Amino acid sequence: MTHSRLALIGFGNVGRAFVRLLLRKESELKEKYDLTFRVTGIGTGRHGAAIDPDGLDLEKALALVDGGQSLSPLTKKTVTGPLDFVRSVPADVLFENTPVNVATGKPAIDHLQAALERGMHAITANKGPVVHAYRELASLAQTKGRKFLFESTVMDGAPIFSLFRSALPAAQLTSFRGILNSTTNLILGRMEAGDTFDDAVRYCQEIGLAETDPSGDVDGWDASVKVAALVTVLMGIPFKPQQVDRTGIRGITAEMVAVARTHGKRWKLVCSAEKNGNDVNGRVAPELVSPASPLYSVEGSSSIVEFHTDTLSSLSILEGNPGPETTAYGLLADFINAVKDQ
């Protein structure tokens, strides 16, 4: 029986969905995987932090944060900030789910590095550390005999990175093409149904899919970070979001959408990369796609990626309408994969 002490830094929608999933899967983890756990720490940006070596009451933690209250009534140790939390919490696995910093990947990189240096497995849904410090964190994890895993960073819980890590040995990725940003796909779909661009953005904000400032999605930055992460990890070439040739969807008008439909085509924000020797061309831009493309029928907030390798000419993964629960599943899968072979 493997027993793991878990710590979470970042307790927003994804973090809370992950805790609910842990509670729902607790019996299954024990019976099927011989795994038990207790959550010994939760650190947040707005609700304080709580540490209890004996395990936190997770239902109370969820209720406090859902109600906008502080976690401080649950703590047995006071910390001075996020990094102090990581360095103080008694844990075997850290789940890092703080907001993405596209420019530098910090402070998430610092959190993950501190966890690995303490001998924890480091798991994240944050794309920033993958594009800005993948090699450093992976090397540190190997040195410490721990795992640095990040399945939830691209296409939520879909098995993208683990697919190449485990199921596709000796397959060299030569190119990929897909729809990796849920928000823009839904915006373009709403515009096909008659919404203006602004109305479609507002709808995505109302349902919690888009931020108050939607520029990260509509200007293509989120998609560019995902392209950079796939190139960095799966092609083995360090690649930054700033290297992606990026065009967002602000220039797509209702008239352009209507004309495309009359010709049987659809606008999609297409993410792609192609490897040429040691060079990579990465691109994010609106494209007209025809019914012959697997991207054509991707609706709503769904995502798709089509891989081309030196051994398989085409392999596609489609994820239908993901949410915090699917991202949480990626964290759970990483947790199982990190500790099952200990």
**What is the helix (H) or strand (E) element at residue 63, kind and residue range?**
helix 58-66
Residues 6 or more apart in contact with residue 200 via CB below 8 angstroms: 186, 187, 188, 190, 191
> Cα(61)–Cα(166) distance, rounded to whole angstroms?
35
Backbone φ and ψ for 141, nearest 5 degrees, come out as -60, -45
Closest by CA position to 61, among listed 16, 25, 3: 16
Residues 6 or more apart in contact with residue 341 via CB below 8 angstroms: none
What is the per-residue DSSP string for 219-263?
TSHHHHHHHHHHIIIII-----GGGSEE--STT--HHHHHHHHHT
For residue 153, give the DSSP letter. G
Positions marked catalytic: 226
Helix, strand, coil percentages in the chain from 3-state DSSP, rounded to 5: 45, 20, 35
Closest by CA position to 48, among listed 25, 32, 65: 65
The answer to whether 322 touches 155, Cβ cutoff 8 Å, is yes
**Greatest C-alpha distance within the chain:** 64
Closest by CA position to 202, among listed 211, 193, 65: 211
- Token pair recorded at residue 134: 């993948």
